[in-house]
Every structure is written in structure tokens, then in C-alpha cells.
């Protein structure tokens, strides 16, 4: 029996070594859809973090009551409840942002990251471990989203969080804020991350 | 006639212009995961189209009769407990996400059982994909889009009927199939290429998808052009028929001028 990782290890694992987007390729819909600006990306990451944390804690609390064949349905319904809360909250306090994000907030329900974390971690671990795992994963998700959004927003509009960072003479690469830019940016970033990873492991292997 | 134009525009919009995968980014997971071979991709596309139509039918029915403000069924049930004027205002839209995901999950389950029992060959061909479809964003996205077009409209007369909703769903599924089959075809060729090692697998697939999305951007504006062509065709025949009033309703116009269509040379 392998030693179960401690809460702290779980937290650190989620950020880079097991980054949900770059390493596990989960939750790609929001990753590609809402990353045309930093503001949308940050809001989305916060919403996902909230839902992931709540769903993980609840799943961990009820893990002994779960029936194996019904567990996916239970996970989905738990997630849907919290997504409804997040969606209503955004509509009440950040109306403009909820209009921008549109259907992608409800689509958090079918986001693979959350179901995957409930299944892999929360349904087997204590509340503390599940919560730290959720925090780590959501920080990793936020990092991935902001890295893509930063590239797309800076190259596409010359701005970062709405502030101009490139000179006004910058010819906006409009394609970057349009759908194809999302695929291209993420593809190239993913390749780069893989390259850095393999370079590192080669280096440590040679030593 | 105007209804038919509407249907055509929705169909073209869902399948090509605003392709589910390449424009809205829903259903990316199977798009990356199951696009290795053309026959598998086609099976997945068919399964998604099948389930998306059932889910759209369910969500349209539930939204219209139960969830939306003043829906008949919820009004009738609430009428037993509260005064009629309060019952008419019952609004259950807050439950929509939970209800939709439940409807999708159970319909996938039922479809799987039904197909396994009555069409074993069909089950064999897309049996693996069916359970996966529950967590496919494309299905929920279609349901949400239909809900937006029923509840989100200001004028109740503009709310989508079942025909429009089903068109959106079926052609959304067709668009998904088109995208995933093209992708699988490209990936079969990619196997023969010398790709830099870090880019093998998902990364190169995403870059290719980006180029594919660029190609699909070429369809932008087709809908307005099509609309213009369809309405001006109707308008041109109005001009030919001098005594027809332009303001006459389109359906009445068609009934009155039925013989004219036969005079127009075919081809």
C-alpha cells in the first residue's frame, strides 16, 4: 500500500506537477472559451475554485454514504447545485461579467476537472485533504487560464487587464482574440510546457 | 415561408458558422480524445447527434411546460396550494441546470439500455462512447441555448418552438460530426509526419484545430447573405406579380400565387 500524500503534498501537486490543464488536459472548454481577456479568465477561475472547493468538501463528507453505481449522478447534482449558486451570485453582483461569460458558467457542471477530483480524491479522502487538493487544483487551473489569457490579450489587443502595455502603434493581432487564436495559443503553450518538462527530466536523468 | 427561412438559417448557423467545437469550444474533450481514427470519430459524432436531439426535446418540453414563468404544469400544480394569481408567477428557472443535467444523465442511461436491448449491432458500434456523452459539454450547451431562446426573449411570441429547437440540436450535432471527422482525417495523415517530440499528441492537434477554426471562419457572413438571397427571391417574385401587395403576409402570398411558381423555369 502506497503512502497517502499529506494535505500539503496534495496542494503542491495540483499547482504545477499535476496541473489540471497542461498535464491532465482536463477542463478544456473554459480554458479555450473565456481566455480572450484577463478579467474573464480570473472570474472564471474564481467560479471554478468555489465550485471545486464546495463540491470536494461535500463529497468528502458524504463519502461513506455513496453507492458505487450512483456516485457520478450524486457528484453531478452536487456540482450543479453549487454552479447555480455561483451563477446567481455573478448575475447579481457582476452582471456585465455574467453576460460576457454567458453559457460557460453553467458549463462548469460538466467540467471534467471537478468530476475527476471528486472521483479520484474527495470520495476517498478526509475533508482536510480534499479541501487542500481542491485549492491546489484550482490554483493550477487559474495559473493555466491566466497564462493563456495573458498571451492572447497582450498580442490581440495590446492590453493587459485593460491597461495598455504595448505601444499604441502595435498592430493588434485580431486573430488572437478570435476562436482560432485560442487553439493556436494553447497548442503552442502546451508544446512548450512539454518541451520544458522533457528537457528538465533529461537533465536530471543525465546527472 | 419565413418560418422555413428561419429553420434554414438556424441549421446553417449551428452546423457551419457557429460550429459547436470550433466556435463555441464545447465538446473539446472528445474532439481531442476520440479523433484518432475516422470510423471512431464518426461513431462518436453519430452518438452525440443522437443524444443531443433527445436532450433538446426533453429540455424544450421541460422548459416550456414546467420551468419557465407561468408554465402550464407548474401553474396547475401550484394552483392547489396557493391563490391563482400567485401560482401564475411561479418561476422555476433557478432549478434549470440541475433539471437539465439530470435529464441528460437519465436519457443517456435509457438510450444506452434501449439500444443495447433492441439494436445490438448499433450498441456495439457506439457502445463505448455512450456513457462518456453525459459529461460532454455540447449536450448541456445545446439545452442552455434552447433555454436562452425560450426564457431570454422579451416578446413571448419570439420564443422558439419545438421545430427550431430540434433543428439547432440536430445540426449542432452534425456540425460536431463534421469537425471531428475532418480532424480525424487530418490526424491519420499526421501519423506519417515528423512532428517535434513535445508537440506530439494533444499539442499538434490543438494547433491543427486552430487552423481548422480559421478555415471555418470563412463561413462568417454566410447567414446574412443567405437571408438576403432567400428574402429577395421572395421579394423578386412579388415584383413580378404586380397586383400583389408587398405587405400581404408571406403565407397568404404563397397560397394566392401558387401557379406562378410553375411558370418559373426549372434549374
- The mean pLDDT value for A140-148 works out to 91
Q: Is A166 exposed, middle or buried (0-12, 13-18, 19+ CB in 10 A)?
A: middle
Torsion angle, alpha carbons of B57, B63, B64, B65, to 10: 100
Lowest model confidence (mean pLDDT) among B44-48, B132-136, B173-177, B222-226: B132-136
Contact residues for B172 (Cβ-Cβ < 8 A; gap 6+): B14, B15, B20, B52, B138, B142
Residues of B in contact with A80 (CB under 8 A): 97-98, 101
Give one DSSP letter per residue of A163-186, joined into a string. EE-S-TT----HHHHSHHHHHHHH
Q: In 3D, which of B54, B171, B176 has the Cα closest to residue B110? A: B54
- The mean pLDDT value for A148-173 works out to 85
- The Cα–Cα gap between A42 and A48 comes to 10
Residue A163: beta bridge partners? A160
Interface of A with B in 175-194 (CB under 8 A): 175, 178-184, 186-188, 190-192, 194
Asked if B101 reaches chain A (Cβ–Cβ under 8 Å), the answer is yes
Residues of B in contact with A33 (CB under 8 A): 24-26
Q: In 3D, which of A12, A10, A33, A15 has the Cα closest to residue A138? A: A15
Q: How many CB contacts within 8 angstroms connect chain A with chain B?
A: 123
Q: Do B213 and A183 touch (CB under 8 A)?
A: yes
pLDDT in tens, A57-92: 999 998 888 887 778 788 888 999 999 999 999 999
At residue A139, the pLDDT reads: 92
| All cell numbers assigned to A66 | 455513496
pTM for the whole thing? 0.82
Domain layout of chain A by residue ranges: 7-149
Highest mean pLDDT out of A132-136, A156-160, B105-109 = A132-136
pLDDT in tens, B41-73: 888 888 888 889 999 999 999 988 888 887 888
At residue B265, the pLDDT reads: 45
Amino acid at each position: 500500500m502506497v503512502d497517502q500524500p499529506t494535505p500539503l503534498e496534495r496542494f503542491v501537486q495540483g499547482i504545477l506537477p499535476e496541473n489540471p490543464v497542461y498535464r491532465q488536459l482536463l477542463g478544456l472548454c473554459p480554458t479555450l472559451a473565456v481566455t480572450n481577456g484577463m478579467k474573464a479568465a480570473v472570474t472564471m477561475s474564481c467560479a471554478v475554485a468555489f465550485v471545486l472547493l464546495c463540491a470536494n468538501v461535500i463529497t468528502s463528507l458524504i463519502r461513506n454514504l455513496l453507492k458505487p453505481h450512483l456516485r457520478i449522478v450524486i457528484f453531478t447534482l452536487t456540482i450543479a447545485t453549487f454552479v447555480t449558486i455561483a451563477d446567481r451570485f455573478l448575475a447579481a453582483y457582476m452582471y456585465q461579467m455574467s453576460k460576457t461569460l454567458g453559457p460557460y458558467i453553467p458549463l462548469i457542471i460538466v467540467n471534467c476537472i471537478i468530476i475527476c477530483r471528486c472521483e479520484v480524491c474527495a470520495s476517498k479522502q478526509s475533508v482536510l485533504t480534499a479541501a487542500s487538493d481542491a485549492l491546489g487544483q484550482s490554483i493550477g487551473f487559474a495559473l493555466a487560464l491566466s497564462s493563456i489569457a495573458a498571451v492572447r490579450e497582450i498580442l490581440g489587443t495590446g492590453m493587459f487587464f485593460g491597461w495598455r502595455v504595448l505601444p499604441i502603434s502595435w498592430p493588434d493581432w485580431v486573430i488572437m482574440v478570435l476562436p482560432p487564436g485560442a487553439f493556436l495559443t494553447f497548442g503552442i503553450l502546451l508544446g512548450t510546457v512539454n518541451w520544458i518538462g522533457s528537457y528538465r527530466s533529461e537533465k536530471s536523468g543525465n546527472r | 415561408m419565413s418560418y422555413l427561412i428561419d429553420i434554414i438559417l438556424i441549421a446553417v448557423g449551428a452546423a457551419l458558422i457557429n460550429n459547436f467545437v470550433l466556435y463555441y469550444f464545447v465538446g473539446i474533450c472528445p474532439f481531442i480524445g476520440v479523433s484518432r481514427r475516422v470510423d471512431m470519430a464518426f461513431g462518436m459524432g453519430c452518438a452525440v447527434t443522437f443524444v443531443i436531439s433527445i436532450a433538446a426535446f426533453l429540455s424544450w418540453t421541460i422548459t416550456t411546460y414546467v420551468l419557465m414563468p407561468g408554465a402550464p404544469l407548474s401553474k396547475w400544480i401550484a394552483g392547489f396550494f396557493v391563490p391563482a394569481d400567485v401560482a401564475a408567477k411561479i418561476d422555476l428557472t433557478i432549478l434549470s441546470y440541475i433539471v437539465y443535467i439530470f435529464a441528460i444523465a437519465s436519457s443517456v442511461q435509457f438510450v444506452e439500455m434501449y439500444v443495447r436491448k433492441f439494436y445490438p449491432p448499433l450498441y456495439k458500434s457506439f457502445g463505448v462512447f455512450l456513457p462518456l456523452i453525459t459529461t460532454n459539454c455540447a449536450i448541456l450547451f445545446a439545452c442552455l441555448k434552447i433555454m436562452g431562446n425560450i426564457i431570454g426573449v422579451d416578446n413571448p411570441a419570439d420564443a422558439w418552438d419545438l421545430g427550431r429547437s430540434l433543428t439547432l440540436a440536430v445540426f449542432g450535432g452534425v456540425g460536431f460530426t463534421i469537425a471531428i471527422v475532418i480532424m480525424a482525417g487530418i490526424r491519420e495523415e499526421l501519423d506519417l509526419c515528423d512532428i517535434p517530440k513535445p508537440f506530439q499528441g494533444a499539442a499538434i492537434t490543438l494547433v491543427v484545430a486552430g487552423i481548422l477554426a480559421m478555415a471555418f471562419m470563412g463561413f462568417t457572413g454566410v447567414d446574412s447573405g443567405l437571408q438576403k438571397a432567400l428574402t429577395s427571391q421572395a421579394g423578386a417574385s412579388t415584383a413580378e406579380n404586380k397586383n400583389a401587395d408587398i405587405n400581404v403576409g408571406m403565407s397568404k402570398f404563397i397560397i394566392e400565387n401558387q401557379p406562378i411558381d410553375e411558370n418559373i423555369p426549372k434549374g
